[in-house]
């Protein structure tokens, strides 16, 4: 074995262990930075030695091509559902029935949080993840392996593949952690996209993405709760010990919360405690699953229909309530989007009084057929703004009125436009007071310029009194002028003036986020900042140059280009620069452009990447090209210079042949990068 091969093996082993410590044991033993360094070292070695590629390597979670659709999977053992117990009496009745059938009363119960996500079956062969399937109808599900591979708490290889059964299936629940869900929705709203209603919908939507790269960006997680089946190995005799064994194998099992009880009273107390504490957890639960511990007892009890007799779901009341929708109001967002919301008769939903709930957009209202005057179901989930789930049709009287989106902006009276293909209606007047208010508020927010003390009320006051009209005017606010405002003390005025002055030295990503360009949230702002180094260079970049930034697609590039094509928007940046916001025209750092010392071998060349490669994922290959000055597009045209084709390259390879575009291998691509000499390949189509 060569040194490189040994080091690759060693790094994979180390990273696997650190993943396990972090995701399964929740007890990391190295810092994130050290992990990243090991990860990058492995990536570099693997890129240099494509023949040593391994799909179970920690670097290989993402990067498969989008699939046209999910294949069907037949579950070797059906995935069942659970009967419900809505109170302690029903729980006792369930246990009594089991005791009668077992003809004994001395069995242990295991209590587990019932995770509100999506059931998944993971098949491992020789200790490696071979397949992941959704529950589907219980007998047949969908093959979502490529997406599930991107979930970091799903092991690609088990801790001790030698100790694992040759073939086994585990079952668990994939879910969206609440904190990650909140971040996702914030980002989506910042980008002008509709937020997900709750973590469960977000998890379902993320898992059913045809492009695994989207799933990879979504921070899903798993709790494994059951062994489906195992072949060729002895397995523990009880459920609880099976869970312990699964955790040793490397699966994320919620043992911190799972408890075993000898009595029904213990189990019932556990359920009560969970109901009180469930809001504080980072995952949503809709109950507790109570299971009989001994697996031989489970087998003896068997099933009725699709429900096991050996387990029951002690369900909690939903985080839902019914109330009357008295009116639909419309807010104007910072990009001019008109956001309808429901005004409700106050109602308690899981301990909180709800008076308003979001309705997203007109399509959403139509789809749900929500009318003013309806009784509606309101849901509070994952600590987001409450949602209107839908009307209670049985309670309709006929006096309800359907909602019409206003044709003029409720704030400024300007006409409302609807972007083609988009759900949102928009006020087209950039000077609209409501938009200005949202823009200034967003600019001052912590995620952007972080101007402490410039809160909602003050923004409204400043705009209302025409002391400021837009973002740059903030920098004309002196301590004296602020002190002259109603309800403003000397001290607060001085603090605010200092905070405004301090914001002049915010970073490029902070300014970019603050400008409120459609689709540019924190993550995209970071990518752009790294590439362009200051705001001015970004503002002057064309669509093509923007698209060349790894991670920036055509839609986002077009939105940025359109934003800065607008004279008013350019004027705002100019005035911010004049006011002293430094990073607009700052000297870009030496490494801006993101290319370091890499030779720009691909300058002026257009590539299309297709098929499965050995040393790269597709996004790595695209980044490799872009970092060396090349352009990457999604489809083959006459303008394409090279198609880089891996295994099983499909229609794009055919297109290249038809159009006479040279097809090169991944080795030819790397050789081209190093030598700067374009590979000399016969053009397939030229012979025809
Ligand atoms: S055990 C025979 N344990 O609940 C079914 N299920 O309503 C055994 N679920 O499809 C399921 N957390 O997706 C079990 N700790 C847990 C669970 C759990 C969530 C889900 C699972 C199942 C559904 C049944």
- The residues near 174 (Cβ < 8 Å, ≥ 6 apart) are 117, 118, 120, 148, 151, 203, 207, 220, 221, 222
What is the per-residue pLDDT for 326?
96
What is the per-residue pLDDT for 525?
86
Centre of ligand 1 to C-alpha 103, Å, is 26
- Whether the predicted pLDDT of 254 surpasses 70: yes
Return d(Cα 122, Cα 461) in angstroms, integer: 57
- Do 500 and 620 have their domain in common? no
In 350-427, where do the E strands start and end? 352-358, 371-372, 375-379, 387-391, 401-402, 416-418, 425-427
Is there a domain that residue 48 lies in?
A: yes
pLDDT, mean of residues 97-111? 96
Domain end point (choices 402, 419, 444) = 402
What is the per-residue pLDDT for 63?
61
Is there a domain that residue 425 lies in?
A: no
- Whether the predicted pLDDT of 353 surpasses 50: yes
- Do 545 and 631 have their domain in common? no
Can you name the residues that pair with 119 across neighbouring β-strands? 173
Is there a domain that residue 590 lies in?
A: no
- Whether the predicted pLDDT of 594 surpasses 60: no
- The residues near 526 (Cβ < 8 Å, ≥ 6 apart) are 509
Tell me which H or E stretch contains 583.
Answer: none
Centre of ligand 1 to C-alpha 114, Å, is 6
In 49-100, where do the E strands start and end? 72-74, 84-85
SS3 readout for 212-254: HHHHHCCCCEEEEEEEEEEECCCCCCEHHHHHHHHHHHCCCCC
491 is catalytic: no
What is the per-residue pLDDT for 52?
92
Instruction: Give the residue whose CA is nearest to atom 23 of ligand 1.
Output: 81
Q: Please give the number of the atom of ligand 1 that sits closest to the Cα of 258.
A: 15
- Whether the predicted pLDDT of 685 surpasses 50: no
- Calculate what percentage of the chain has a pLDDT beyond 70: 94
What is the tens place of the pLDDT at every residue in 389-400? 899 999 999 999
What is the per-residue pLDDT for 560?
93
Q: How far is CA 428 from CA 209, 333, 436, 525, in A?
A: 33, 12, 12, 24
pLDDT, mean of residues 404-433? 85
Centre of ligand 1 to C-alpha 111, Å, is 12
**Which tokens belong to 213?**
């790269």
The number of C-alpha atoms within 13 Å of 125 and in the hemisphere containing its C-beta is 3
Hey, which of 83, 85, 113, 114 would you mutate to test ligand 1's pocket, going by the most ligand atoms within 8 Å of its Cβ? 114
Domain end point (choices 315, 336, 359) = 315
Hey, which of 75, 78, 82 would you mutate to test ligand 1's pocket, going by the most ligand atoms within 8 Å of its Cβ? 82
Q: What CATH number corresponds to the domain at position 571?
A: 1.10.150.20
Is there a domain that residue 197 lies in?
A: yes
What is the tens place of the pLDDT at every residue in 19-67? 998 888 888 888 888 898 999 999 999 999 999 999 899 998 886 667 7
- Do 212 and 311 have their domain in common? yes
Is there a domain that residue 684 lies in?
A: no
Centre of ligand 1 to C-alpha 350, Å, is 23
What is the tens place of the pLDDT at every residue in 542-593? 998 998 887 787 888 998 998 999 888 899 999 999 999 999 998 887 766 6
- Do 176 and 311 have their domain in common? yes
Torsions phi, psi for 479 (to 5 deg): -55, -40
Is there a domain that residue 72 lies in?
A: no
- Do 36 and 15 have their domain in common? yes
pLDDT, mean of residues 118-135? 95
Q: What CATH number corresponds to the domain at position 387?
A: 2.40.50.140
- Do 474 and 513 have their domain in common? no
Q: What CATH number corresponds to the domain at position 43?
A: 1.10.287.610
- Do 332 and 186 have their domain in common? no
Longest dimension (CA), the chain: 85
Contact 602, 595 (CB under 8 A): no
What is the tens place of the pLDDT at every residue in 143-191? 999 999 999 999 999 988 777 899 999 999 999 998 898 888 877 766 6
Centre of ligand 1 to C-alpha 135, Å, is 11
- Whether the predicted pLDDT of 523 surpasses 60: yes
- Do 215 and 124 have their domain in common? yes
Hey, which of 83, 119, 172, 246 would you mutate to test ligand 1's pocket, going by the most ligand atoms within 8 Å of its Cβ? 119
Domain range for residue 627? 606-675
| Higher-confidence position of 266 and 651 | 266
- Whether the predicted pLDDT of 382 surpasses 60: no
How does residue 383 score in pLDDT terms, banded at 50, 70 and 90? low
- The residues near 317 (Cβ < 8 Å, ≥ 6 apart) are 350
What is the tens place of the pLDDT at every residue in 459-470? 999 998 889 999
pLDDT, mean of residues 201-224? 90
Contact 432, 409 (CB under 8 A): yes
Domain end point (choices 476, 505, 534) = 505
Q: Please give the number of the atom of ligand 1 that sits closest to the Cα of 254.
A: 15
What is the tens place of the pLDDT at every residue in 640-674? 999 999 887 878 888 898 888 999 998 899 889 88
What is the per-residue pLDDT for 686?
40
Instruction: Give the residue whose CA is nearest to atom 17 of ligand 1.
Output: 114
Sequence-separated contacts (24+) of 255-264 with Cβ below 8 Å: 256/26, 257/112, 257/113, 258/110, 258/111, 258/112, 258/113, 259/110, 259/111, 260/108, 260/109, 260/110, 260/111, 260/293, 261/108, 261/109, 261/110, 261/111, 262/106, 262/108, 264/91, 264/92, 264/95, 264/109
**Which tokens belong to 478?**
């002196």
- Do 279 and 190 have their domain in common? yes
Instruction: Give the residue whose CA is nearest to atom 9 of ligand 1.
Output: 114
How does residue 134 score in pLDDT terms, banded at 50, 70 and 90? very high
Return d(Cα 158, Cα 596) in angstroms, integer: 37
Return d(Cα 513, Cα 449) in angstroms, integer: 8
What is the per-residue pLDDT for 591?
64
Contact 438, 332 (CB under 8 A): yes
Is there a domain that residue 188 lies in?
A: yes
- Do 347 and 473 have their domain in common? no
Centre of ligand 1 to C-alpha 544, Å, is 49
Return d(Cα 625, Cα 613) in angstroms, integer: 14
Centre of ligand 1 to C-alpha 223, Å, is 11
Torsion, CA 29, CA 34, CA 40, CA 45, rounded to 10: -80
Q: What CATH number corresponds to the domain at position 653?
A: 3.40.50.10190
Question: Coil, helix or strand for 261?
Answer: strand
Which residue blocks in 484-566 are alpha helix, DSSP H?
A: 490-502, 508-515, 522-532, 535-539, 543-547, 554-565
Centre of ligand 1 to C-alpha 271, Å, is 16
**Which tokens belong to 654?**
């055919």
- Which residues does ligand 1 sit against, CB inside 6 Å? 80-82, 112, 114-115, 119, 135, 173, 225-226, 289, 308, 311, 313
- Whether the predicted pLDDT of 221 surpasses 90: yes
Q: Please give the number of the atom of ligand 1 that sits closest to the Cα of 81.
A: 24
Instruction: State how many domains the chain has.
Output: 6
Q: Please give the number of the atom of ligand 1 that sits closest to the Cα of 226.
A: 1
- The residues near 17 (Cβ < 8 Å, ≥ 6 apart) are none
Closest C-alpha among 366, 341, 368 to residue 356: 341
- Do 580 and 611 have their domain in common? no
Hey, which of 81, 169, 246, 267 would you mutate to test ligand 1's pocket, going by the most ligand atoms within 8 Å of its Cβ? 81
- Do 113 and 258 have their domain in common? yes
Is there a domain that residue 258 lies in?
A: yes
Q: Look at 49-58, 346-355, 436-445, 540-549 and tell me which has the smallest mean pLDDT.
A: 346-355
Return d(Cα 627, Cα 653) in angstroms, integer: 24
What is the per-residue pLDDT for 593?
63
Torsions phi, psi for 622 (to 5 deg): -65, -45
How does residue 688 score in pLDDT terms, banded at 50, 70 and 90? very low
């Amino acid at each position: 074995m060569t040194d490189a091969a040994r080091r690759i093996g060693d790094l994979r082993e180390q990273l696997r262990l650190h993943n396990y410590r972090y995701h399964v044991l929740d007890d990391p033993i190295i810092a994130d930075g050290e992990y990243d360094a090991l990860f990058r070292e492995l990536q570099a070695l693997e890129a240099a030695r494509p023949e040593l590629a391994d799909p179970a390597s920690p670097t290989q979670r993402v990067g498969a091509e989008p699939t046209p659709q999910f294949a069907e999977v037949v579950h070797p053992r059906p995935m069942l559902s659970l009967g419900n117990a809505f109170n302690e009496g029903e729980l006792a009745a369930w246990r009594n029935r089991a005791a009668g059938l077992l003809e004994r009363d001395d069995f242990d119960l295991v209590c587990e949080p019932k995770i509100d996500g999506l059931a998944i079956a993971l098949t491992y062969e020789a200790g490696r993840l071979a397949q992941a399937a959704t529950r589907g109808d219980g007998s047949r599900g969908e093959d979502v392996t490529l997406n599930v591979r991107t979930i970091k708490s799903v092991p690609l290889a088990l801790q001790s593949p030698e100790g694992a059964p040759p073939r086994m299936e585990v079952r668990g629940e994939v879910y969206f952690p609440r904190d990650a869900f909140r971040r996702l929705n914030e980002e989506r709203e910042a980008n002008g996209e509709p937020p997900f209603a709750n973590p469960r919908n977000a998890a379902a939507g993320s898992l059913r993405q045809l492009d695994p790269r989207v799933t990879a960006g979504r921070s899903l997680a798993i709790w494994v709760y059951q062994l489906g089946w195992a072949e060729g190995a002895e397995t523990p005799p009880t459920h609880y010990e099976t869970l312990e064994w699964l955790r040793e194998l490397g699966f994320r099992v919620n043992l911190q919360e799972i408890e075993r009880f000898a009595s029904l009273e213990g189990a019932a107390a556990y359920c009560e405690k969970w109901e009180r504490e469930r809001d504080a957890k980072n995952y949503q639960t809709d109950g507790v699953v109570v299971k009989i511990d001994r697996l031989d007892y489970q087998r003896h009890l068997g099933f009725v229909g699709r429900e096991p007799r050996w387990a029951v779901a002690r369900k909690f009341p939903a985080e839902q309530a019914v109330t009357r929708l008295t009116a639909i109001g419309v807010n104007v967002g910072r990009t001019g989007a008109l956001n309808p919301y429901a005004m409700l008769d106050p109602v308690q939903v899981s301990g909180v009084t709800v008076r308003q709930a979001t309705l997203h957009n007109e399509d959403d209202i139509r789809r749900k057929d929500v009318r003013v005057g309806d009784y509606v179901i309101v849901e509070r989930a994952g600590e987001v703004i409450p949602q209107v789930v839908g009307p209670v049709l049985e309670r309709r009287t006929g006096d309800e009125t359907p909602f019409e989106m206003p044709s003029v902006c409720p704030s400024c009276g300007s006409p409302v436009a609807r972007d083609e293909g988009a759900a949102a209606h928009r006020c087209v007047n950039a000077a609209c007071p409501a938009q200005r208010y949202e823009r200034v508020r967003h600019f001052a927010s912590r995620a952007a310029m972080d101007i402490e003390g410039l809160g909602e009320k003050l923004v409204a006051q400043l705009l209302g009194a025409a002391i400021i009209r837009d973002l740059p005017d903030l920098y004309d606010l002196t301590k004296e002028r602020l002190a002259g405002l109603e309800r403003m003390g000397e001290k607060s005025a001085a603090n605010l003036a200092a905070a405004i002055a301090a914001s002049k030295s915010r970073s490029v990503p902070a300014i970019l986020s603050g400008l409120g360009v459609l689709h540019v949230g924190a993550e995209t702002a970071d990518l752009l900042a790294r590439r362009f180094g200051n705001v001015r260079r970004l503002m002057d970049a064309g669509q093509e140059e923007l698209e060349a930034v790894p991670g920036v697609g055509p839609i986002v590039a077009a939105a940025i280009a359109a934003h800065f094509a607008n004279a008013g928007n350019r004027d705002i940046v100019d005035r911010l620069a004049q006011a002293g916001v430094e990073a607009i025209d700052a000297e870009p750092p030496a490494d801006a452009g993101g290319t370091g010392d890499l030779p720009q071998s691909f300058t002026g060349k257009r590539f299309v990447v297709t098929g499965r490669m050995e040393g790269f994922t597709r996004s790595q290959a695209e980044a490799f090209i872009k970092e060396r000055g090349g352009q990457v597009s999604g489809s083959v045209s006459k303008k394409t210079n090279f198609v880089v084709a891996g295994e099983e390259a499909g229609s794009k390879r055919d297109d290249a042949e038809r159009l006479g575009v040279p097809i090169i291998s991944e080795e030819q691509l790397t050789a081209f990068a190093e030598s700067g000499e374009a590979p000399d390949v016969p053009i397939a189509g030229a012979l025809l």
